[in-house]
Structures are given as C-alpha cells and as structure tokens.
Amino acid sequence: MQKIYRLTQRGSFTYIYNHGVSRSASHIVVYCVPAHNLKVGIVVGKKVGNSVVRSRVKRRIGERFRLLIPQINPSYNFVIVAKSVAADATSEAFRNDILYALQKLGVLLQG
C-alpha cells in the first residue's frame, strides 16, 4: 500500500477505536471514522501467529484494500484488525470480508 494511505500515529488509531463505527466479518473487524482524506491502518495481534504469519496477513490485507481504493469514499479513515483465525485465510477471503464490512459501513461509492 502506498505511503500516502497509511495511518502511522498511535493517536490516530486510538481516535478511530474510540470514535469510529465498526463492522465485523469472519476474519477481520473494520473501524471507520469520517476524515479529510483516505487513510488506513492494519493491526495484527500476536494471537494470529508468529512474526512471519502476522507480516503475511498484514501484506495480504493491505494489498486487498489497495485494490479496492477506487471504490471507497475518500473521506474516511479506517483501521482493520485481523482476528485470530486470519492466519488461515486466503487473499480472496480477505477481499470478501473487506467488501462486506465496507458495504455494511456504507462507504463504498455507487456504480
């Protein structure tokens, strides 16, 4: 994912957790809050697996989100949290989960 789309500050993550709306899918939870431009942070906890597995899950989620950026309303910030079952998920499962959560949040562009 490009650097301009990344959330990096701890305070940003905390703000989104506390003030955002969340929707859950089978492998992920997506938090969303209105903002000036599109940014996303990806969180993968130690329950998912060792560092190699966590890194792979983070890369897969990031890539699937990157491919959906043209379809997403750019005035929101997101935090995507991987559940412990995410270690066994395929890239297609992540894509479906992200699409499902974004549809439930109502942040996808029409058409």
In the prediction, which pLDDT does 1 show? Answer: 78
In the prediction, which pLDDT does 9 show? Answer: 94
In the prediction, which pLDDT does 74 show? Answer: 93
pLDDT at 7 over 70: yes
The CB density around residue 13, as the number of other CB atoms within 10 Å, is: 17
pLDDT at 10 over 70: yes
Assign domain 3-105 one CATH number from 3.30.230.10, 3.30.70.360, 1.10.630.10, 3.40.109.10: 3.30.230.10
**pLDDT mean over 9-13:** 95
Q: What is the pTM of this model?
A: 0.94
Tell me the pLDDT tens digit for each residue of 29-39. Answer: 999 999 999 99
In the prediction, which pLDDT does 84 show? Answer: 95
**pLDDT mean over 63-86:** 95
Please return the burial class of 36, using the count of CB atoms within 10 Å of its CB with bins 0-12, 13-18 and 19+: exposed
pLDDT at 111 over 60: no
